Structure 1
Amino acid sequence: MIFISVTLINLKINTVRFYFVQHYLSRRVLLLAVFWLMWNTLPVCAQDFTVTGNHCKAVIPFRLVRNMVVVQLQINQHGPYNFILDTGCGLMIITDPKLLDSLSLKYKKKIKVLGLGEGNDLDAWLVPGLKLQLKGVENNQISAAILAKDVFDLSSYAGMPIHGLIGYDFFNSFPVKINFADSTLTAFNLRKSPSYKRTTKIPLLVEDKKPYLQAQVNFDDRPASTEKLLVDLGAGHPLSLENGWNNCGEKPDKFIAAANLGVGLSGPINGFMGRVQAMEIGSYQFAKVVTAFPDSSSAMDKMANISRDGSIGTDLLKRFVIWFDYRQGFIYLKPNSNIKQPFEHDMSGIEYYAVGNNFSRIIVCRVEPGSAADLTGIEKNDEILAINFKKVGHMTLQEIDEIFRSKNDRTLLLEVMRDQSIAKVLLTLKRRI
């Protein structure tokens, strides 16, 4: 699955336009609905990925893009294509419909997915028998769904071409190590187990092709509660809790009433952003964790077919070197240099997406009411040209996100264009939660 927040993903379904907030909003809520509905009608080809050349392991580079792990792969000897590696994704999804004509498909079945948000139908193609190749790894019989229309526009969200998502088929094939420090994945041949020295071993439960663990969460002064959390590499947030303050009708002292936590089959997902006092995973403790709280009565709960309390995402996971071992049922954690970094949320109030050649233009699609950007006068549809004299076209969206949540009271000089008029604006970041 995939969660989005702080900046926005632009989503079009027919003529209806939705916005998904980047690191804390549910980009994957709609995706999850699509995937679940398609799964049972697919002629599934079950074959694992294998490490090629009889090697003990394969080292695969990735890019961290807005807290998403993006890898390059070839499909049917075409590509390379950019795919989000997502532990919350069961079925491989191709979101770019142009691939339908370029992959030399031997079999495809067209279906309609009903009831997305406003009730519009979504066409998709079900295809088995694809051949996938990553660096040192391949799969000759994988099944996928190809969307007939790129309604999610993940490329605008990521600021680079994104062609789809892949998850369970990769992680269930072999132990996988993720090192955020050097941006590499390591896939281990099943004949040789990796070394887990100086790691913390935590039980991992794989249900419905998704991994779950248990964590302790302190909301405030109440005793800690045990939460079942999806380990969601496709989610940008640190923590999301679908059951929490919502159950007792209270909210933390500081929170953001985020009306747009995503859109699902039954409509918008409402909720708020706040912090929990502490959480504990294995022997690791975290304080003041930024947390999304979707309403318990929202569409998210109605769509879940596995009971859970929430999810942990990449903004927490990237503080570790991680080994996933689906087959043995464990996750292994080793802290990296970011383990003690505080959790921060966007301090600008600007939500944006990328357009244009090479996705070099940054367009504001929403300004959080009462935020620093709102008080400064930045408006929807403004174009950000530069930040502190550096053109945004020379920056990644990951870099821009990090600037906007870098330091409370930090002043930024923005160059902004509105109606062909260019102005320089001083924006002072403000921590809101």
Structure 2
Amino acid sequence: MINFTFTTGLKAQFFELPKNKKSITVPFKMVRNMVIIKTMINGKGPYNFVMDTGVGLIVITDPAIGDSVGLSKRHVKVSGLGNSTEYSATVTSGLNFNINGIVGENLSAAVLQKDRFGLSNYAGMPIHGLLGYDFFNSLAVKFSFWDSTMIVARTGAIKALRKGFKLPIIIDQNKPYATAKVQYAEYPETDAKLVVDFGAGHSLLLDNYIRNNTLPQKYIKANLGVGLTGPLEGLLSRVAMLKIGKYEFKNVITSFPIVDTAANRRSIDRDGNLGLGILKRFTLIVDYQGGFIDLKPAKDFKAAFEHDMSGLEYYGDGDDYKTIIISRVEPGSAADDIGLKKDDAIAAINFKSVADLSIEQIDSYFKSGDDRSLLLDVYRNGKRGKFILTLKKRI
């Protein structure tokens, strides 16, 4: 999950299809619950951008791109989570985007002076920016996660999904909001106003639960996402039920921020957000102008909600992002029990070099089953050692 706010006051921007095209198919890559597409900017690239309905202005997270394609610039302030600190960024105008023939001309983007999100390290591949409201407000987009494609058309031009459900959305301050029903433990179900957030990798986040109720009965501490000020700390637990329109999910892994993620930074009351952990379970059509998201269950709709069972957080380092560095070990977790430490480098899992694995394949190992044992080769201070990690389901 990526969290920040821009204060810019820029004019509306838009993307459009060529007049002779009714629709265009755009392939994407799904990595750690991020939808990543390729775009050209001012004839250069391709660059990898994350599709993120949680952002308004286009964001360039790699400062080197701003240097190579930027035109006029002006400074803006960017607010992050965790404290009131503001950071400097620049707004670059005169950018021409081309996404498989879908064009946005003379666009503006915020260029971070330093990549504070570490998205490339998190994804294990180069990530250059985020694309949100400007794209989704211009066009209707159908996401098919089973074949990793987006069909992009003018609003209203994509055929409704057979036996689907149109979930009403409202657009407020450039973000889509929907209402769902949530039930936690013994509490009665309640309505929740949620941002439909393609940039959030989790399934569900509830902003105000800890403030309005007691702590969840069973939880683990975790970093829930990243903001400009660093990781967003919180708890992971489960809600008994989440209902979106006519579709119901049980025992959904849910993020509970320890602090209100929007404190002092928004005027819209909301209860949290729906992330790709839920949204990818559907084939869906996003139509901002039509005021709906059309939902139809996909093949993974009924899959169980599982979380990491190792207690490790890690990222890809080096020029090719193939060096796997541990960034955090959860106290009391399986990894903590065997003495793994922050800054250890994982070299191999079950005799398979991590250089031959994608970061998602590594994630899958650490979710692969309660009480499963994995043999890890680990470098610490230049010395190689072996650890037997027995996975432990914690929530």
TM-score by length of 2: 0.94
**1:416, 1:423 within 8 Å by CA — same for their partners in 2?**
yes
Inter-partner Cα distance in structure 2 for 1:300 and 1:292:
15
Shift of 1:192: 3.2
Instruction: Please say if residues 284 and 294 of structure 2, whose CA atoms lie closer than 8 Å, have aligned partners that are also in contact.
Output: yes
2:173 match: 208
Aligned counterpart, 1:15: none
Q: 3-state SS of the aligned residue for 2:262?
A: helix
Paired residue secondary structure (2:264): helix
Partner of 1:156: 121
Supply the distance in 2 between the matched residues of 1:265 and 1:127 (Cα, whole angstroms).
19
Partner of 1:10: none
- SS of 1:328's equivalent in the other structure is coil
1:325 equivalent to 2:290? Answer no
Pick one of 336, 349, 357 that aligns with 1:395: 357
Say which of 263, 268, 281 aligns to 1:301: 263
**Equivalent runs, 1:277-292 vs 2, <5 Å:** 277-292=240-255
Match of 1:174 among 139, 149, 156: 139
Secondary structure at 1:377 match in 2 = coil
Residue identity matched to 1:91: L
Query: After the TM superposition, which residues 1-400 of structure 1 pair with which residues of structure 2 at under 5 Å, given as runs?
Result: 3=1, 28-29=2-3, 32-33=4-5, 35=6, 37=7, 39-40=8-9, 42=10, 44=11, 46-52=12-18, 54-103=20-69, 105-113=70-78, 122-190=87-155, 192-252=157-217, 254-258=218-222, 260-261=223-224, 269-295=232-258, 297-298=259-260, 300-400=262-362
Distance 1:301 1:120 in 2: 13
Equivalent residues of 1:60, 1:135 under 8 A apart: yes
Distance, in Å, in 2 between the alignment partners of 1:269 and 1:357 is 27
Count of residues paired in the alignment: 395
* TM-aligned CA distance change 1:117 to 1:342, over 3 Å: closer
Deviation at 1:276, TM superposition (A): 0.5
Q: What SS class does the counterpart of residue 359 from structure 1 fall into?
A: coil
Question: Distance in 2 between the 1:268 and 1:155 partners?
Answer: 15
Contact 2:347–2:377 at 8 Å: present in 1 too? yes
Distance 1:134 1:332 in 2: 23
Aligned partner letter, 1:419:
N
Unpaired runs of at least 5, structure 2? none
The residue type equivalent to 2:24 in the other structure is A
Cα distance in 1 for partners of 2:229, 2:324 equals 31
Distance 2:230 2:89 in 1: 21
Give the conservation status (yes or no) of the 8 Å contact 1:60–1:136: no
**In structure 2, C-alpha distance between the alignment counterparts of 1:190 and 1:76, rounded to whole Å:** 26
More divergent stretch after superposition (420-429 vs 234-243): 420-429
Tell me how far apart the structure 2 counterparts of residues 247 and 274 of structure 1 sit (CA, whole Å): 16
CA deviation profile, 1:10-42 (whole Å, cap 9, x unmatched)? xxxxxxxxxxxxxxxxxx22xx23x2x3x22x4
Distance 1:324 1:81 in 2: 23
Do the aligned partners of residues 275 and 336 (structure 1) sit closer, same or farther apart at CA in structure 2, a change above 3 Å counting? same
Contiguous gaps of at least 5 residues in structure 1: 4-27
Structure 2 CA distance for partners of 1:88 and 1:330, relative to 1, 3 Å = same
Alpha-carbon distance between aligned partners in 2 of 1:127 and 1:389, rounded to the nearest angstrom: 47
Whichever residue aligns with residue 219 of structure 2, its letter is: F
- Counterpart secondary structure, 1:398: helix
Which of the pair is proportionally richer in helix?
A: 1
Contact 2:221/2:236, CA 8 A, preserved across alignment:
yes
Range that drifts further, 149-158 or 286-295? 149-158
Q: For the residues of structure 2 that align with 1:191 and 1:325, how far apart are their CA atoms?
A: 7
Contact kept in structure 1, 2:219 and 2:235, CA below 8 Å: yes
Alpha-carbon distance, 1:113 to partner: 4.4
Question: How high is the sequence identity, in percent, across the aligned residues?
Answer: 46
1:75-98, Cα deviation, whole Å (9 max, x unpaired)? 111110000100111110001111
Over the aligned positions, Cα root-mean-square deviation in angstroms equals 2.1
Kindly provide the amino acid, as one letter, of the partner of residue 275 in structure 1.
R
Change (3 A) 1:299 1:173: closer
For 1:20, the equivalent position in structure 2 comes to none
Tell me: CA distance 1:265–1:354, structure 2 relative to 1, closer, same or farther (3 Å). closer
What is the Cα deviation at residue 191 of structure 1? 7.4
Write the letter of the residue equivalent to 2:306.
E
Are the equivalent residues in 2 in contact too, given 1:241–1:291 (CA < 8 A)?
yes
d(CA) in 2 for partners of 1:429 and 1:363? Answer: 19
SS of residue matched to 2:284:
strand
Residue deviations 1:373-409, cap 9 Å, x none? Answer: 0001111111001112211111111221122122111
* Structure 1 residue 120: Cα displacement: 6.1
Q: Tell me the amino acid that sits aligned with residue 146 of structure 1.
A: V
